[in-house]
Structure 1
Amino acid sequence: MKKQFYRWLSLAIVLNALSGCGGPRDHLWFYSYGSGPGRDTTGELTPASFIELRPDGSYTLDFGRYEYGSWNRKEDQLFLTSQQHKTYVYAMKLPTPKEMELVVAKGRTGHFESRPFPSDNRTEDPFSAENNRWRLPATHKETDAEIKQRLYNHCKFWEYYFKWALDKKLNMVDVRSTPTAIKIYGNGFGLKPYEELPDRWKAFFFDEEDCRKANDMIQDIFRHKTIAWANTDSKYKMFLGAFQQMEEFLR
């Protein structure tokens, strides 16, 4: 009887990591790898693919598409209801409080690792819907002001992404897999030529003209403005400050 009790207690500890009792740090998960012979049908999962399950029952994710909405868990199933009122059900396992497995397609499992939870303030959360409006594809031809606002929101994401890495003292973060027109180097950044833009970045814009216009706006900043790079050993502080200046130039 005692052995059965301890088995139940161990299971409860693991499940509580996702239900909210395990602490907010266990509610942000990043994709690490896939297993099984099946093909991923959710979209292209990369090291930048994430799912954030907030304690208030809201979520955001990017599994090759960005969405947000509400979530709940029932036993070994994760229910996600998106902003378009579509409900997706994922079979879920938690091998440890730091690992999560989601069945992303028939015969295919996505393996995720927990990362430190961002700020409780959603305006400073790089994964919040507020800081990821740029990931939502345009539904109409956009004005110059709307394109500029999309770029501004994109820079906000990067600002808070590096702030999150700095605040949580992360050893490294992925900067190559996120769809963007900006190529981030170890000591600076530059603009990707139009021909080298990720297809997904191009798909955020209504048409090619709008996408090229966005590139021209960034190029204009790089040609005619001066970005003051912080004199610091912290790459996170350096990029955080640089993207704050980009935001000022885009206002």
Structure 2
Amino acid sequence: MKIPFYRWLPLILLLDLLSGCGNSLNHCWFYSYASGSGTDTTAGLTPASFIELRPDGSYTLDFGKYEYGAWTRKADRLYLTDQQHKTYVYTMNMATPKEMQLTVAKDRIGHFEGRPLPSDKLAEDPFAAENNRWRIPATHKESDAEIKQRLYNHCRFWEFYFAWALNKKIDYLDVRSTPTAIKIYGNGFGLKPFAELPARWRSLFFDEADCRKANEMIQDIFRNKTIAWPNTDSKYKMFIGAFQQLEQYCKP
């Protein structure tokens, strides 16, 4: 006797999920907290730490250091092969469309919250490598043009970060944990004093002189250029417009 297909369908879907062939991992995952009895070695993880797993098998990640490459899943293991062809293996304790748990240290679980993926266009993805070249530490003393390019790319990230939140109707964004020289308020932004710059932001520059020069470039823009804040009730639209203008001033 043949069993109707519709009776098999729930079982097929369940097996698909258990085998890891489902698409529940195709999200942008943000770190929320750690649990477990192991020593807490997650100091590099903040609310801005993320791992983006795209349907094409590519990923980007920032767990205190930015990387990108290819990902695969086998049972409860997540394999990440970065741009230098080094593979990292994470044990997944749980993965649903809303929450993922990864073993980030011995007997220590990192809890991640799932957010919808940005645009299919990588050029407009705030987490894509193209918009995060500023996160790659300098390997040499940079020229003024190179520092401006780093600042320009940084502003592009912020533009697409807010555009992603607007398009996906995300109610809350963390803007304090991302390493930056720009202090973002509820109704505007300003420049952080050099002494208050995050250590991670400082580490992106070849030396203190280059980092200081970047601050001076931003300060010069704020003092001598006009940024017209869009007249809108949407804070996301307001920041999108402001960062678009800041980008133009940062162009090499």
Same fold (TM over 0.5): yes
Q: Does the CA contact (< 8 Å) of 1:43 and 1:65 recur in 2?
A: no
1:146 aligns with: 146
Q: What one-letter code is carried by the residue in structure 1 that aligns with 2:23?
A: G
Q: Does the CA contact (< 8 Å) of 1:52 and 1:60 recur in 2?
A: yes
TM-score normalized by the length of structure 1 = 0.92
Q: Does the CA contact (< 8 Å) of 2:181 and 2:191 recur in 1?
A: yes
Mapped to 2, the partners of 1:28 and 1:141 lie a distance apart of 33
| 1:10 aligned to which of 14, 33, 37 | 14
Mapped to 2, the partners of 1:175 and 1:11 lie a distance apart of 39
2:122 aligns with: 122
- The change in CA–CA distance for 1:194 and 1:15 in structure 2 (over 3 A counts) is farther
TM-score normalized by the length of structure 2 = 0.91
Q: CA deviation at 1:96?
A: 2.9
Q: CA deviation at 1:97?
A: 2.8
Mapped to 1, the partners of 2:129 and 2:95 lie a distance apart of 29
Alignment of 1:222-233 (within 5 A): 222-233=222-233
Q: Does the CA contact (< 8 Å) of 2:27 and 2:97 recur in 1?
A: no
- The change in CA–CA distance for 1:68 and 1:149 in structure 2 (over 3 A counts) is same
Q: Does the CA contact (< 8 Å) of 1:159 and 1:240 recur in 2?
A: yes
Alignment of 1:2-151 (within 5 A): 9-10=13-14, 12-13=16-17, 16=20, 19=21, 21-22=22-23, 26-41=26-41, 44-151=44-151
Deviations 1:34-78 (A, max 9, x none): 101323546511111100011111110001111001111111100
Q: Which runs of 5+ in 1 are unaligned?
A: none
2:214 counterpart SS class: helix
- The change in CA–CA distance for 1:67 and 1:226 in structure 2 (over 3 A counts) is same
Q: CA deviation at 1:10?
A: 3.4
Q: What one-letter code is carried by the residue in structure 1 that aligns with 2:151?
A: L
Mapped to 2, the partners of 1:15 and 1:174 lie a distance apart of 33
1:250 aligns with: 250
> How many aligned positions are there?
243
Q: Does the CA contact (< 8 Å) of 1:34 and 1:111 recur in 2?
A: yes
Mapped to 2, the partners of 1:15 and 1:30 lie a distance apart of 24
- The change in CA–CA distance for 1:182 and 1:14 in structure 2 (over 3 A counts) is farther
Deviations 1:173-198 (A, max 9, x none): 10000000000000000000010000
- The change in CA–CA distance for 1:205 and 1:39 in structure 2 (over 3 A counts) is farther
Runs of 4+ in 1 over 6 A off after TM superposition: 5-8
Q: CA-atom RMSD, angstroms?
A: 1.9
- Please tell me whether Structure 1 or Structure 2 has the larger radius of gyration of its CA atoms: 2
Q: Which runs of 5+ in 2 are unaligned?
A: 1-8
1:219 aligns with: 219
1:223 counterpart SS class: helix
Mapped to 1, the partners of 2:19 and 2:168 lie a distance apart of 24
